[in-house]
A and B are shown apart, each in its own frame.
Chain A
Amino acid sequence: MTNLVIAEHDNAQLKGATLNTVAAAAKIGGDVHVLVAGSGAQAVAEQAAQIAGVSKVLLADAPQLADGLAENLAEQVLAVAKDYSHILFPSTASGKNVAPRVAAKLDVAQVSDIIAVDAPDTFQRPIYAGNAIATVQSADPVKVLTVRTTGFDAVAAQGGSAAVESVAAVADSGLSSFVGREVAKSDRPELTAAKIVVSGGRGMGSAENFKILDPLADKLGAALGASRAAVDAGYAPNDWQVGQTGKIVAPQLYVAIGISGAIQHLAGMKDSKVIVAINKDAEAPIFGVADYGLVADLFQAVPELVSAL
Chain B
Amino acid sequence: MGFGVRVKVWGERACFTRPEMKSERVSYDVITPSAARGILEAIHWKPAIRWHIDRIRVLKPIRFESIRRNEVGSKISPANVSRAMKAGSTAGLTNYVDQDRQQRAAMVLRDVAYVIEAHFELTPKAGADDSVGKHLDIFNRRARKGQCFHMPCLGVREFPAAFALIEEGESLPAPHESLLAERDLGWMLHDIDFAQGMAPRFFRARMAQGVIEVPPWRGVESRP
Specify whether A and B are partners: no
Q: B residues engaging A (CB < 8 A)?
A: none
